[in-house]
A and B are shown apart, each in its own frame.
Chain A
Amino acid sequence: MTAKSGDSVSPSASAFTSDSSKSTKRVPPPESSESIQTRFRVIASFWAVIIFLGFPIWWKTTSIYRAHLPIQEMVDWADGKTCRPVYPLEIHVAAPSLQLTESQHLLRTTQHTLDDLNEFAAHHLRLKLANDTVAHTGDDKVDNLDNRPSDADAADIALTVRVLPEEGLVTPRSELQAHTTQLDVFYPPSQIPSPSTSNPPLSTFIAQELQRIYGEEKATIAHILSGESSALDSTSPELTESISRRLRRSMQYAETYHLSFSLFTPGSAPSSWDIEAAIQEYLAPLLHAFSPISNFTIDTQVQLYATFSPMTPAPVYDEAESAWTLKKEDLSAFINAAEWPLNPSIGSGPTLNFILYVPDPSQSPMIVKENRASSWIVPQWGGVFLLNPQLEKNQANPASLSQDSLQSAFKTFSHQLLTLLGTPSTPASLPLRLQTLVRIRAASLLLSASSTMGSLARLTESLPSIPIPANVASSVSITLSHLSAACSDLREGRFNAALASARIAENEAERSFFEKTMVGQAYFPDEHKVAVYLPLLGPIGVPLVVGLIKEVKRIVAAWKARRRAAV
């Protein structure tokens, strides 16, 4: 039995001319419309199964889940359209010796002068008259960042200015207390501003003092917010340079820093150091002051027989200095990263390494050639201090380093720690510098979380094939809500709250950006899949497609014939 495709229902004998002599050609009867109908149904049902069952299943099983992300909002944050960080600093002025009207006048004129001086609108100082109770208890209440006002809605008090009369002064003088957030301004009693004078010298003086105190902070924040390009006009190039250098050197903000103190020596001595006492004495107060901003863990180690790497240029003896000198450009190779066990501490948070290097007696004293320094900072990594014990000729290093001999090293380490954490160098009061650090950190975290959001938005836009799990979407929404919380906290002067929000925003932003499941583990290129399934799809697809084409042809022909017939 031979089966032939039965599409042509009207075969004509004229089609074959040359090979007509062999057998009697009998044309089969035209197909019944019933069988044509059946064939049509068969093909249609096959295609229906493919279209309504096969394709949806294939689509469903191979599609990737992409949670909805508020792309536009994220891009707006990254472009800085949503939030312009502002820093209204609340400064309390207490003038217990002045009349209320006098002090109000002083306040008004000082504020006026300040506003005239200020050129960076985002950062402005708001003076406020302190009620007497605050003014009197001011020195013990605001002495620590821990004791910030318990009322969460109230703005943080950045500084308390106490205006005090002092006999025998010609011009006003000020005194910034090193351990509190209090500025004492002493003025000669003769200069009590009368309500009539529009610009009393005392107001000008106070305004200038405040401007001086917050000058570096303003420049830093302006630098962070504007990027590398434009700083304030009034900042000196030196200050700009020092700010950008500090920002380059300082670590990324983290909740916990691991501090690792290591004693390295090329020989066998000193093999012990009075490290616990030294840390307790020289470092613990500083770390305590930092506790509202970051936490610290400390570990220490002693590493003997720590030699330089063979690539490091050896120190050179300098006759003039009578010391062994290291060239400044070689300092980057000082640390033998391959052999010295300086692996980061376990746990989240970056590690800051502080290295106390005691040179061999044959190479002691050791200093840096260019500036005779004995310490340097390794940006974003830590600091090194060369400790040269006082030695007689041919004397070995002491077996143990006492707490006193570590004092200079730990003073340097504290300074390096402040620099590495990004603390500004002015003003003199540590609490004020830490407050400044809070504001700087809040600004940089806000910016970094925003730009991470922008990167994530761009990434998901540009790669349509990566999945977006639901937890990324929730992280993004947490980030955005905390970003706006941080922004409004800043606007209202609650900087610690702003830092806390910005910290959460940053964490969530990082988590969403580095979500592991967004990157496929197994990747099969399309060519591979086609090659594997071609043995199935080819033999099945060809008859189906051919059947479909023939059926379409037949329908078109039938339709044409009917039209012709109608005409």
Chain B
Amino acid sequence: MTTFSFPLLLALAVTLWSFNVFASTEYHEQLFLQPLPQSSLLASFNFRSNTSQQSFDNQHFQYFPRALGQILQYANAKELHLRFTTGRWDAESWGPRPWGGSKEGGTGVELWAWIDASDDDEAFAKWITLTQSLSGLFCASLNFVDSTRTTRPVVSFEPTGNHRNAEGLHLLHGTLPGEVVCTENLTPFLKLLPCKGKAGISTLFDGHKLFDAAWQSMSVDMRPMCNSEDDCVIQIEQTVDMVLDIERSKRPRANPIPRPLANEFLACDTSKPYNSEDSCYPLEKTTDDAWSMSEVFGRTLNGVCPLTGPDGTNEHSVCLRVPHEKQVFISEGSREVKKEDGFTRCFNLAPGQPFDLSIPEQAVNTPVPLEDPILNAERTIVGHGQERGGMRIIFGNPSNTTAVDFILFESLPWFLRPYIHTLQATITGRDGITTDIPASDLVTSTFYRPAIDRERGTQLEIALSVPAASTVTLTYDFEKAILRYTEYPPDANRGFNVAPAVIRILNTADSAPVYIRSTSLLLPLPTPDFSMPYNVIILTSTVIALAFGTVFNILVRRVVSVDEAAALGAQTLKGRILGKLVAIRDKVRSKGTKVD
């Protein structure tokens, strides 16, 4: 029922999984390139290395990075997944996500790990150790993953490795939706690779291009893989997936500002009645853009990482998915191998030589088919006002025949207080008729862990089913909490990040997990004027002083009549000064009259 627009990627993933995990090679890397509609290019990098359980336990690291290995051992983490993501995957134009979404995270940083511990408290302590250490290793603010940002999902994630002691494992999950992923995260990521960006496909990484991409996701996965009880390896898999805008990436670094084309270079639809000197309806392009790897990535691929493959040569370390009829030029010394599916070709690179591939501008006759995603999901905050709001999640099932079962996992910050009783669903068919139905008709099960103010956030996992050819809108209301003065961040008026929802699709064709993540949201909270405490102090001080002064004066002062007051007044300092002034005035006057 479910077909993927990335059969190759999935096929790759599955073949790698089943064959190479226990193969003699301990390191493997691959780059997969696919032009996408709207002049985009998906570049999917995959690096994987193994180490035996024994040498991992004895801290003898060869290809497995020592720094990460020690952190995992110190924190008792048996399986770890770390994601750095920026941008948004445009599923409408680009189709389903690479790796079925299992190698990407929500916007910002996402981390989940299975930690071996005897109880929840110990697991949490280890988790904090883990986040603190990873924060230092990856230069990310992972140390801000505290108890309010940590959840313990029940059904949304399942370990992908083979664990002996599955009962003692605790899954903890944390997200930092506001974290800005940038080059300082790429450098430590590259350091974990055995070839360190000096040889092989990792030489293509350039922070300027990677973080300029329309969407990019870096992942680090660590898991144990076992053949039998005693034959275990620890596998680390790193991936970088990015969607580059070809035109934008091709801009030279010296002149990065796009400039308007001169009139004579515009391709206009001359059949339009209004077409004239000063109006132009752009003509749809019939050809794909020309691009080359060195233009798009800003550098050429420097040979192969000699650790890959059984004999040091790496077969098919670069693959490209374009129709076979398309012309592709490659550097000398490398060999092209066309796969049978009609769309994929891979390249055997010459060791030690730079590799480049370029595709000239040419007409496309048979475009690479892009399948529909299994499910479209969209999440927005609705409502207005400072006090309440609502969440609306729209699920679209593009299939005409099959219902989609999935789990929606929301981890909401504590200052967003959802009212679960307001959970409502409407269902819209292809005919456009909307019907309200009770949410319980769609929801098969719910795992709910309510928030505790300043201690933990809401954790909500809902198992849902969306019927074929219909769109389901799920809504619930929430209340916005008022924070304490010191809890507001410096940019409080920007809004507060709400972590993306994670959707795990259950009935996939094969066992490969399929995940979708919604975009992260910004929640505007009632924000005070931050000079408020001083205003309050001064105002209350004034009021108290006023009240005190009145009371004190009434108690202490003597009440006399007006004329008595005048007599008394002369006694005081003020009275004496006034008297002197009057005397001076009289003197001046009398002098004036004398002159006259």
Contact = CB atoms under 8 A, between A and B. Distances in A.
Interface of A: 1-6, 8, 11, 13, 15-19, 23-28, 31, 35, 39, 42-43, 46, 260, 268-269, 271-272, 275-276, 297-302, 304-305, 307, 339, 341, 343, 345-347, 532-533, 535-536, 538-540, 543-544, 547
Nearest to B544: A536
B552 interface: yes
B563 to A, nearest CB: 5
Contact of B60 (A1, A275, A307): A275
A341 B553 contact: no
Contact of A300 (B60, B306, B561, B576): B60
Residue among A8, A28, A269, A347 having the largest count of chain B Cβ atoms under 10 Å: A28
B194 to A, nearest CB: 6
B542 A11 contact: no
Contact of A536 (B61, B305, B545, B572): B545
Nearest to A535: B541
Nearest to A43: B556
B135 to A, nearest CB: 13
A28 B568 contact: yes
B191 interface: yes
A525 to B, nearest CB: 15
Nearest to A271: B307
A42 to B, nearest CB: 5
B552 A268 contact: no
A536 B552 CA distance: 15
B67 A341 contact: yes
B544 A18 contact: no
A533 B576 CA distance: 35
Nearest to B133: A346
Contacts of B307: 268, 271, 304
Contact of A543 (B133, B137, B549): B549
A237 to B, nearest CB: 43
A22 to B, nearest CB: 9
Interface in B519-572: 534, 537-538, 540-542, 544-546, 548-549, 552-553, 555-572
Interface of B: 55, 58-63, 65-67, 70-71, 74, 133, 137, 191, 194-196, 198-199, 305-307, 534, 537-538, 540-542, 544-546, 548-549, 552-553, 555-572, 575-576, 578-579, 582-583, 586
12 contacts: A3-B559, A5-B557, A18-B583, A28-B564, A268-B195, A268-B307, A269-B306, A271-B62, A276-B55, A302-B63, A539-B541, A543-B549
Given A5-B558, A25-B566, A15 B571 contact: yes
B60 A540 contact: no
A6 B558 contact: yes
Contacts of A269: 306
B560 A28 contact: yes
A268 B314 CA distance: 14
Given A272-B62, A305-B195, A345 B70 contact: yes
A20 to B, nearest CB: 9
Contact of A4 (B63, B540, B565): B565
Nearest to B587: A18
Contacts of A260: 66
Contacts of B544: 536, 540
A8 B61 contact: no
A345 B196 CA distance: 21
A24 B195 contact: no
A307 B556 CA distance: 86
Contact of A26 (B306, B563, B569, B575): B563
A280 to B, nearest CB: 11
Given A28-B561, A304-B196, A343 B571 contact: no
B66 to A, nearest CB: 4
A536 B74 CA distance: 55
A390 to B, nearest CB: 21
Contacts, number: 172
Contacts of B567: 11, 13, 25-28
A24 B561 CA distance: 13
B586 A18 contact: yes
B74 A346 contact: yes
B538 A547 contact: no
Contacts of B549: 539-540, 543
Given A346-B133, A532-B534, A539-B545, A268 B306 contact: yes
A25 B63 CA distance: 106
B542 A539 contact: yes
Given A299-B70, A346-B74, A535 B571 contact: no
A305 B583 CA distance: 100
A118 B32 CA distance: 78
B191 A543 contact: no
Nearest to B307: A271
Nearest to B304: A268
B55 A4 contact: no
A31 B571 contact: no
A540 B541 CA distance: 9
A296 B83 CA distance: 34
A297 B305 contact: no
B568 A4 contact: yes
Given A276-B60, A341-B65, A23 B568 contact: no
Nearest to A302: B62
B192 to A, nearest CB: 8
Contacts of B576: 15
Given A16-B575, A347-B74, A547 B556 contact: yes
Nearest to B559: A3
B71 A346 contact: yes
Contacts of B65: 301, 341
Contacts of B564: 4, 26-28
Closest 7 CB pairs of A and B: A6-B558, A539-B545, A299-B59, A536-B541, A535-B541, A305-B198, A28-B564
B556 A42 contact: yes
Contacts of B563: 23-26
Given A268-B305, A305-B198, A18 B566 contact: no
Nearest to A300: B60
A31 B542 CA distance: 33
Contact of A6 (B133, B534, B568, B579): B568
A535 B560 contact: no
A11 B571 contact: yes
B537 A532 contact: yes
Contact of B548 (A13, A17, A540): A540
Contacts of A297: 59
B259 to A, nearest CB: 36
Given A15-B571, A31-B558, A35-B558, A343 B67 contact: yes
Contacts of A6: 557-558, 560, 568
Contact of A298 (B59, B555, B575): B59
Contacts of B582: 18-19
A27 B561 CA distance: 10
A555 B583 CA distance: 33
